[in-house]
Every structure is written in C-alpha cells, then in structure tokens.
C-alpha cells in the first residue's frame, strides 16, 4: 500500500478510534496528524509545534473571540431581551404567538451574534418558561427554539463562516453575503411548519397591545436593531473587514449595555470576559489541532485520493453535491459544527472546485449541513442546551425537533437542486 493510502487509513481510523474512546477533539486531531506524519516519513516534532501555532496565528481568526464576546454582552446587557420583547409586542397575542416570537427573535439575534449556542440559550431562558405558563407543549416548543437557534451560523455575522473561510482560504465577506437569503428561508420554513403544527394544538390567544405600546417597546429595541445594520452595512460598504466587524460588534454591545441600557455594571464585565475567554480557548485549541491534521492531509494529497475514488461523480456536480451532503449528514450526527469544518472542509472543497462547484456556494452548503447537525442526535449540542435550560429530557427535545429538522432537510435539498437560490443573491449583492 502506498504511504498516501496508509495515511488515509490512519486519518479515518485514528479519528474514529480516538472519538470512540471519548478523547478531546483537539487532542484527537493532533494525535491523528502525528500518526499521519509518521507513516509519511515526515516526523518532526518542531514541525508539529509550528503547525499548532500557525493554526491560530491568523488575523481573520481574531473575529472569533470578539463575536463570542459580543454574544455574551448581548445576553448580559439586555439586548437579547429587548429583541424578544419587541417580537412579542407585535405577534405575541395571536394563536401560537410565542412560537412566532421565537422565530422572529432567532432571526434578529442571528444577525448580531453568529453563535448558535448563545442565541439558543437566550431564547430558551426567556421563552420556555413563558410557553410553559401558557400551556404550550414543551417538547414542540423546545424543538422550535432549538431549530431557531441554528439560524445563527447562517445569517451574517457567522462565526462558522469565519472559521470556514480561514480554513479553506475562501472570502469571508462572500460567505457572509451567501447566508442572508438561506437564513431568511430557514425562518420562513419554521413559520410554515409551526403553522401546520398549530392546527392540532389549542392555545390561548391574548389581547393585542395598543399601537402606542408596541411602538414604545420597539423604540426600546432601537439600539439592538441598529447593531446588524452597522455590522452588515459596514462590511458591504468596505468601511471595515469581517474581522474588524467583530470588534465593532463587541464594543457596540458593550457601549449599549453600559451607557444606553445600563443593565450591566462595570464589575460584571470581568465574568463576561471570563466566559468568552473559556469558549474562545475551546475553539482556538480546535483550530490549532486541525492545522496539524490539515497540513498532513495536504502532504498525503487526500483530496486527490478521494477525487480518484469518486471518479465519474466529478463530472456531475449536482450528483457529487448530493453525495457530499449525504456524507455530511452522517458526519453531522457524530461531530459538532466546528470540528466538522476544520477536519472535512479542506478535504472536500478541492473536490468540489474540480467539479466546477462555486466555493462560496459549497461553503454555505457545508455550514448549513453542519448547523443542522447541531439539532441531530446523538451529539446535537443545541438540543442539549435547550434540554438543560428547560429542565427537559433529551428525548422530549428530540421528539419536538423532528418536524423542524425535516423542514431544514427539504430546504437543503432545494439548494442542491437550485443552487441559484444561493449564488444569484451573492452575485447581486457584490
């Protein structure tokens, strides 16, 4: 067997073995990369250390800690709560209104933080108790909130798009633009699914608020609504890069929390920074470990090996995309979104490009599939967040998320059949 074929076996077998015994993902990536270096006769501890450092020594990756910090500040400074209050003021009184509030708030918050876990935690903390009090079925309500939370990785600013762009050397600005229409379609799909579910559920309808009260609550959310306009508008006009946009988002959230809403004390900044730093360290360690594996994947030419195996599929982009998405569905049930991007994006993208698939379109599809994996058992990170916040069993949340999961799979299939839904808006917005 050739060294390259043996390296592929080490890569796949090593990852499966190490994940199976429950090893930390970042360490599994480092050890797998080291094993590939050994079979390729390229063993050099200094080279491994250099790649670990190179994995996080990237200016675009500075966006990650600042977007994480922005999400923490949004939740602590009252921005998230005001978004939810505004949505409730306008649609909370209709039949099943709190579900529509969850969807609207999820879309709006997705345009600010880019973190599925942060958005889901905020939505679940505020809305699940209200839904329980008004007699909403808890499993369906939890499933809806979990499904709304994964819109965050798609609508800009998206932290997974930053990681994908850095990992594959794809334009982050173009990736951000590619997520606008799909993210809105995901929200529309949730609305349709929730309406169908409401046909068999009897829920109380409240009294609509006077227009003056609605406008007053909306005015309170003005500074929150201004945040996505500043971020997206600044990037579109070239005032700042996606990395700089993350810094702007964090400082804007801090300014609003301290000076406008005044819901955060100076003494509370420390704990917020600690929480953001802990999350950042996890992501950055993953990036460092993935660089080791990625470097060895490049040396072993694994994309070339896979291209040879796929053969005729390269001549049919749509069929190739379907096969890749099916593979990612299986991967998404076992891995979280960030490891999926770091491990498989560098391997799959060269094959997609050789088949003539637009790299930005492929990036959107890759991240969307990985986001769906966040609500797919057995890993389902977002499912665990909702279950923990709502004090529900994981089985209840899985049962409730199934109708919305089916909707997302249909949307994913729609994008495979009609890629113009993604590519045409990007070309227009550029």
- Do residues 47 and 37 touch, judged by C-beta distance below 8 A? yes
Q: pLDDT value at position 176?
A: 92
For 267, residues 6+ apart whose C-beta sits below 8 A from its C-beta are none
Q: pLDDT value at position 10?
A: 85
Query: DSSP character for 240?
Result: S
- The string of pLDDT tens digits covering residues 243-289 is 898 899 999 999 999 999 998 999 999 999 999 999 899 899 989 98
Total of domains in the chain: 1
Q: Is 228 helix (H, G, I), strand (E, B) or coil?
A: helix
- The string of pLDDT tens digits covering residues 13-36 is 888 788 778 788 888 889 998 998
Model's pTM, two decimal places?
0.90
How far is it, in rounded angstroms, from Cα 167 to Cα 197?
A: 40
Mean pLDDT, residues 121-135: 92
Instruction: Say yes or no to pLDDT of 404 above 90.
Output: yes
Task: Compute the chain's Rg from CA coordinates.
Answer: 22
The CA angle 351-356-358, to the nearest 5 degrees, is 90
- Do residues 326 and 279 touch, judged by C-beta distance below 8 A? no
How far is it, in rounded angstroms, from Cα 373 to Cα 371?
A: 5
- Domain limits for position 41: 1-427
Two structure tokens written together for 366:
């890759």
Give the mean pLDDT of the chain. 89
- Only one residue has tokens 């917020």, namely 272
How far is it, in rounded angstroms, from Cα 102 to Cα 120?
A: 10
- Do residues 232 and 155 touch, judged by C-beta distance below 8 A? no
How far is it, in rounded angstroms, from Cα 105 to Cα 137?
A: 20
Output the DSSP codes for 309-372.
HHGGGGG-HHHHHHHHHHHHHHHHTTS-HHHHHHHHHHHHHHHHHHTT--HHHHHHHHHHHHHH
How far is it, in rounded angstroms, from Cα 108 to Cα 114?
A: 11
């Amino acid at each position: 067997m050739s060294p390259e074929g043996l390296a592929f076996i080490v890569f796949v077998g090593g990852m499966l073995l190490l994940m199976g015994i429950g090893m930390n993902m970042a360490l599994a990536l480092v050890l797998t990369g080291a094993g590939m270096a050994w079979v390729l006769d390229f063993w050099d501890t200094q080279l491994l250390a250099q790649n670990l450092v190179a994995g996080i020594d990237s200016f675009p990756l500075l966006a990650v800690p600042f977007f994480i910090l922005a999400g923490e500040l949004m939740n602590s400074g009252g921005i998230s709560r005001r978004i939810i209050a505004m949505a409730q003021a306008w649609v909370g009184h209709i039949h099943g209104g709190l579900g529509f509030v969850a969807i609207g708030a999820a879309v709006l918050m997705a345009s600010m933080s880019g973190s599925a876990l942060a958005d889901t935690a905020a939505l679940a903390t505020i809305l699940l108790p209200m839904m329980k009090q008004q007699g909403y079925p808890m499993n369906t309500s939890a499933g809806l909130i979990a499904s709304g939370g994964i819109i965050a990785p798609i609508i800009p600013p998206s932290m997974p798009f930053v990681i994908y762009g850095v990992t594959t050397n794809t334009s982050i600005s173009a990736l951000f633009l590619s997520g606008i229409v799909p993210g809105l379609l995901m929200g529309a799909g949730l609305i349709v699914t929730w309406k169908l579910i409401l046909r068999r559920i009897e829920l109380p309808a409240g009294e609509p608020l006077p227009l003056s009260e609605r406008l007053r609550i909306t005015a309170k959310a003005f500074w929150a609504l201004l945040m996505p306009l500043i971020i997206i508008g600044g990037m579109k006009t070239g005032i700042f890069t996606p990395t700089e946009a993350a810094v702007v988002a964090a400082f804007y959230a801090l300014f609003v929390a301290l000076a406008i809403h005044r819901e955060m004390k100076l003494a509370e900044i420390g704990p917020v920074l600690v929480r953001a730093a802990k999350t950042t360290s996890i992501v950055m360690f993953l990036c460092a470990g993935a660089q080791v594996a990625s470097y060895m994947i490049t040396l072993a030419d694994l994309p070339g090996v896979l291209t040879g195996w796929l053969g005729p599929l390269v001549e049919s982009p749509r069929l190739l995309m379907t096969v890749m998405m099916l593979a990612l569905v299986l991967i998404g049930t076992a891995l979280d979104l960030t490891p999926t991007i770091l491990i498989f994006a560098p391997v799959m993208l060269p094959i997609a490009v050789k088949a003539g698939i637009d790299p930005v379109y492929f990036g959107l599809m890759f991240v969307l599939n990985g986001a769906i994996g966040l609500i797919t058992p057995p890993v389902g990170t977002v499912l665990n967040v909702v279950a923990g916040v709502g004090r529900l069993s994981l089985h209840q949340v899985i049962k409730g998320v199934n109708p919305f999961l089916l909707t997302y799979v249909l949307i994913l299939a729609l994008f495979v059949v009609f890629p113009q839904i993604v590519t045409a808006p990007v070309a227009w917005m550029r």
